[in-house]
Structure 1
Amino acid sequence: MATIAIDLGATYSSVCVYENNVPKLIPNSLGKYITPTVVSILESENIVVGEGAKLNTNTSKLASNFIQYLGTQTRISVDDKSYTAVKMTSFLLRSLKNDAEKYLNTPVTEAVITVPTHFNDHQRHAIKFAGELAGLYVSKLINAPSAITLNYITQKNISEGTFLIVDFGGNSLGVSITSYFNGIIEVISSNSNTRIGGQYIDKIIAEYFCENNGVDFDKLSYSEQIILLQKAEIIKKILSKSPYAFLECEINEKTYNLNLSETILEQLCNKLFEKCIALIRKTITESFIAMSEINDIILVGGISKLNIFRNYLDNNLKIHHTLFNPDTAEVFGAGHFLGNSQITITDICPFSLGVATYINQIDKIPTMTTIIPKNHILPVSKCSTFYTLEDNQTDIKIEIFKGENYLLEKNEKLDEIIINVPPNKAGKEFVKVYFSYDINGVLKVDTLSSDGDKKSLIIADKSLYFSKARLNMEINKLDKVKFAYLQEQDFITNLIKQADEIYAEAGGDNKIEISRALEFFLTQMQTNSEVKKRRLLNWFFNFIEDMKTNIEDKWNGFII
């Protein structure tokens, strides 16, 4: 029995196996190493996946873009039937599994699969369930930037470094800062935009074609739009290798054509590329790493092959970039993971987790207090304390939410716990809330009131289908990480004490700057990222040393 590595892409997928100390791509039934993420269900109910499915001219029997609907209730219509995204994904995974078994001549029962960093727990669990339906035990989900980094450092034989990953695929743009240090690959910060990608460039080309030929794209039939978009994709690929391309398409029995150049395409894509640069700058800012500290920009995904995109990055970022196996970087990284036990890959929390908080008992606009912030390294355990609001209050309701909004109503409620406290004056009694979150998307909430009352809650996506024994095993793992990083507390306490002493002697604007920096430091130190924490401690130490002179410069210098 064998284990395979899969890059489950929104537009293209691939599979490999680790053999003779290297990852080796597995060909599909057509002998190709890249399989379009497309499924076609024929009238006989036979299923065709990949290139064969794309050749089906009856577009009502085609399904694509279903990966983006994993973890949702959206159903995909194929002919007169509808399917869940999990079911469609299981068809794709089964096809890849069959290809692997034919190539390896042995049963394949297990897989590691790469996923976008922005995928939430519902999406990740949906992939695992799709794997189960396909006859695969998904033993590990690897964040795409981690896999890309592993492939890069392995093939380049790099001992350590910090990297900017720009993954511009068919359906989304992902930007991440990763580091490799002491045998650990870590995602320091990550952002994505699921509204820009190669398919959007296809539509830009198709709409430009229609505009130049006096045709209204929106008034074309669905089949005509699909055919034109497919031709636009071909033109886009040609322009990745040639400065000119010619597009011809028949619409309503009339032939239209267009000559397109790299220069024109660059102008058409300018706003799209601007969004890319903005996302890159945001990710760098959130990582607390200067551009000068980044060792390389690693470009992957189909759009990275376009000269106009790489030139745009060069002109705006002024740093060396590497176009490194854009089609296979993820699957090779997952393949290296299968054969490399010396390197540890960490995971991150794709969203913030917190509880509802109120200013007083009549507060009509509650907010979310974050306990585990987005991009936090997993597994993790964090604790916060919450106090009573009313005199003689006898219980505290802990409402658990996930999301990135400050206002509670815009975030998603997961569950709640009501825990008893002894009656007393407002603010005298409290409850300690512990959040423990693991790489499988299981959140354990423990509460302990001021008089010793205890309650616990497990929040896990119902699509996990864990057995009780498996769930208990995951809970035991979580219990082991609760008191990590406490050894740094003495050093942190000393820094805060020094800052407080200088604050007491300062006046005017200096007090504002010091309090701002203190609040920022305490908030950001909630991270479990060793790289980020080291940089924060170093910055705050230097800030304290120079606090009495050039305070504003020190603050701004860190943000930049």
Structure 2
Amino acid sequence: MSLIIGIDLGTTFSAVGIVRDGKPEIVPVGDEHIMPSVVGLGPDGGLLVGAPARNQYALYPDRTVRSIKRQMGEQTTVHLGEQAYTPPQISALILRELHRAAEAQLGQKVERAVITVPAYFSDAARQATREAGEVAGLVVERIINEPTAAALAYGLDRSDQRQLVAVYDLGGGTFDVSIIELDSGVVEVRASHGNTQLGGDDFDERLREILVARFEEAHGVSPRDDRRAMARLLRAAEDAKVTLSSRPMVRVQEEYLLTVEGRPLNLDAEVQRHEFEAAIRDLLDGTVDALDAALKDAGISSDELDKVLFVGGSTRIPLVWEMVREHTGIEPAVAINPDEAVALGAAVQGAIIAGEPLDAILVDVTPHSLGIEVVEFDLQGRTIPDHYSVLIPRNTTVPTSRAETYAGVHPAQTAINLKIYQGEHAIASRNTLLGEFLFDNLKPEAPGLPPAIVVQFDCDLNGIVNISALDKASGKQAQTSVRAAHARLSPAEIAGARVSLEQLEQFGWGEGALEVSAEATAPQSLQLSTEILALLARAQRTLEQHPGHQGLLDAIAAVENAANAGNQDVLEQATEALIDLLYDLEDE
């Protein structure tokens, strides 16, 4: 039976779990159960992932990337030193470290994984997470929602109890709440709500503002323009936040925070818990509003809840407990370590996929409504553009498939531009544009009638959407997978990125190191001589273990010939074929 690990790719910390003898457990990363989701360049240009990267942040903030999860699915880059990297590339390094830790601890090769995402993640962010896993060398069997995973771990030993549970998941960078029904081994999500830009990072920022104000009051100088000073204050705020969860006050001391005219300036400040709580209360009010929205969507009141399950490290803040308890009348439960629950649930889902005899079935929902932009007509026959027609309402059980027929505006029309949106607003453009494609050469079903098309949305178990459209008159069909302005990497590009990561780790990130930049997501990235040389070097090492292997010799020659000829299409095909062959041979 092939082992499938579960990975919680968190904003601030990540974890990996497995199911052993029917029980989920965390796989340690070194000496710790959870690993900081931080990547950096050491002073020597070497790659740092996890605790070493987090430890250097205060000294080298410009050489350290943290909280990259908040940018997943966005067309953006971050910088480490002089080089630019996409969020999936940074996440791939985190995933690879977890992957290696799992193999080291388990003493066996691991190829398959279930990776969790916030329930309110967009389609693009889900795609980016899947691609990060693939670049890290994993076969991503499933993307599941974090509160759902936590409920799966929680419900594993409660298969004979019917319960309605609110999973309140407040992590380092995101917040989700899901209303889940547990009944006879079935974990069914009734509704989800959340905010992908709310979590412990925001609380740290609010606490840092208190420390900055104290420093300014004491010295009449602001540290805001000094990146290192602000990084030190953020780290101090994180530590102070943790202390304030168990103590009513904390004293923060940072020596030599700034030097002005040769004079060192220190921070020595006391912060009371009630000050911190006042600074973050408005943010926590938003989580309670989300809880109410989820309850409303599920068609129940808080009185009908049996449990409120807390997940995520930020639920340790006493004010969070107080506000949720007062609002629901239920004492929150922490049946599982909040930092580990999501990874444990992902491991359970992995075990289910692998065919292990666990008494659990997962039924999840899509967190956002999905639809297209259409034109409506008023009573006078005038067109009203930018109307949002929903095909899949939010909180619909996945997988699901929905179809509707839409007609053009006038008989002479031969093309329809389909714009696909995600969101809840009646005006299409006020929602998130996932993608668009032009469906042309349409024909009317009858003379004098505008053309008509059938639009179908298919939302899979990962919450990822595929769109198809059928011309009713001609039977012509078009289809696409929406990517929310996020271009799906081809197999060759993913394989090329894997090679790049291997070379980065082998040779370091200093000057001359192989670059995994934003351009690495474009096909021409495989023309870079360094990448081709890296791939061929890997092939030569494999050839030493398989002397005279004719298939490998032919594949190497095909890549060299295509590269020398400058034929991009042939080069991509040859590169993909060589990498596939290498993976097969290396597995033997």
> Cα distance 1:231–1:238, how it changes in 2: closer, same or farther (>3 A)?
same
Distance in 2 (CA, whole Å) between partners of 1:163 and 1:37 is 29
> Cα distance 1:44–1:317, how it changes in 2: closer, same or farther (>3 A)?
same
The reply to whether residue 445 of structure 1 matches residue 468 of structure 2 is yes
Partner of 1:195 in structure 2?
A: 197
Equivalent residues of 1:414, 1:459 under 8 A apart: no
Partner of 1:225 in structure 2?
A: 230
Distance in 1 (CA, whole Å) between partners of 2:384 and 2:19 is 57
Partner residue of 2:444 out of 403, 409, 421: 421
The aligned amino acid for 2:13 is Y
Query: Which 4+ stretches in 1 moved above 6 angstroms?
Result: none
> Cα distance 1:388–1:66, how it changes in 2: closer, same or farther (>3 A)?
closer
The aligned amino acid for 2:306 is N
Equivalent residues of 1:243, 1:262 under 8 A apart: yes
Query: By how many angstroms is 1:245 displaced?
Result: 1.6
Partner of 2:340 in structure 1?
A: 328
C-alpha offsets along residues 43-89 of structure 1, whole Å, 9 cap, x if unaligned? 54422111111122222211111112222221111111111111111
> Cα distance 1:292–1:38, how it changes in 2: closer, same or farther (>3 A)?
same
Partner residue of 2:404 out of 363, 367, 384: 384
Distance in 1 (CA, whole Å) between partners of 2:99 and 2:459 is 31
> What secondary structure is seen at the aligned counterpart in 2 of 1:366?
strand
The reply to whether residue 402 of structure 1 matches residue 418 of structure 2 is no
Q: TM-score, normalised by structure 2?
A: 0.73
Equivalent residues of 1:387, 1:430 under 8 A apart: yes
> What secondary structure is seen at the aligned counterpart in 1 of 2:333?
strand
Distance in 2 (CA, whole Å) between partners of 1:65 and 1:337 is 25
The aligned amino acid for 2:89 is K
Query: By how many angstroms is 1:334 displaced?
Result: 1.3
Equivalent residues of 2:155, 2:187 under 8 A apart: no
Structure-to-structure mapping, 1:99-498, within 5 angstroms: 99-156=101-158, 159-213=161-215, 214=217, 219-250=224-255, 251-252=257-258, 253-324=264-335, 325-340=337-352, 341-360=358-377, 363=383, 365-390=385-410, 392-393=411-412, 395=414, 397=416, 399-404=418-423, 405-411=425-431, 412=433, 413-418=435-440, 419-424=442-447, 430-440=452-462, 441-449=464-472, 451=473, 453-459=475-481, 461=483, 462-463=487-488, 465=490
Equivalent residues of 1:185, 1:344 under 8 A apart: yes
Moved more, 5-14 or 105-114: 105-114
C-alpha offsets along residues 243-292 of structure 1, whole Å, 9 cap, x if unaligned? 22211123212222222232332222221222221121122112211212
Distance in 2 (CA, whole Å) between partners of 1:289 and 1:240 is 32
Distance in 1 (CA, whole Å) between partners of 2:481 and 2:93 is 29
Equivalent residues of 2:193, 2:367 under 8 A apart: no
Query: By how many angstroms is 1:310 displaced?
Result: 0.5
> Cα distance 1:239–1:66, how it changes in 2: closer, same or farther (>3 A)?
same
Structure-to-structure mapping, 1:15-54, within 5 angstroms: 15-29=16-30, 31-42=31-42, 44-54=44-54
Equivalent residues of 2:10, 2:37 under 8 A apart: yes
Equivalent residues of 2:156, 2:185 under 8 A apart: no
Q: Which runs of 5+ in 1 are unaligned?
A: 468-560
> Cα distance 1:50–1:290, how it changes in 2: closer, same or farther (>3 A)?
same
Query: By how many angstroms is 1:217 displaced?
Result: 5.7
Q: Which runs of 5+ in 2 are unaligned?
A: 259-263, 353-357, 493-588
Distance in 1 (CA, whole Å) between partners of 2:221 and 2:20 is 52
C-alpha offsets along residues 105-147 of structure 1, whole Å, 9 cap, x if unaligned? 1122111111111122222222222122211111111211111
Equivalent residues of 1:300, 1:329 under 8 A apart: yes
Distance in 2 (CA, whole Å) between partners of 1:354 and 1:182 is 34
Partner of 1:4 in structure 2?
A: 5
Structure-to-structure mapping, 1:515-526, within 5 angstroms: none
> What secondary structure is seen at the aligned counterpart in 1 of 2:101?
helix
Distance in 1 (CA, whole Å) between partners of 2:409 and 2:130 is 43
> Cα distance 1:460–1:316, how it changes in 2: closer, same or farther (>3 A)?
closer
RMSD: 2.5
Query: By how many angstroms is 1:456 displaced?
Result: 3.4
Structure-to-structure mapping, 1:502-517, within 5 angstroms: none
Equivalent residues of 2:28, 2:101 under 8 A apart: yes
Partner of 1:491 in structure 2?
A: none
The aligned amino acid for 2:347 is G
> What secondary structure is seen at the aligned counterpart in 1 of 2:24?
strand
> Cα distance 1:64–1:11, how it changes in 2: closer, same or farther (>3 A)?
same
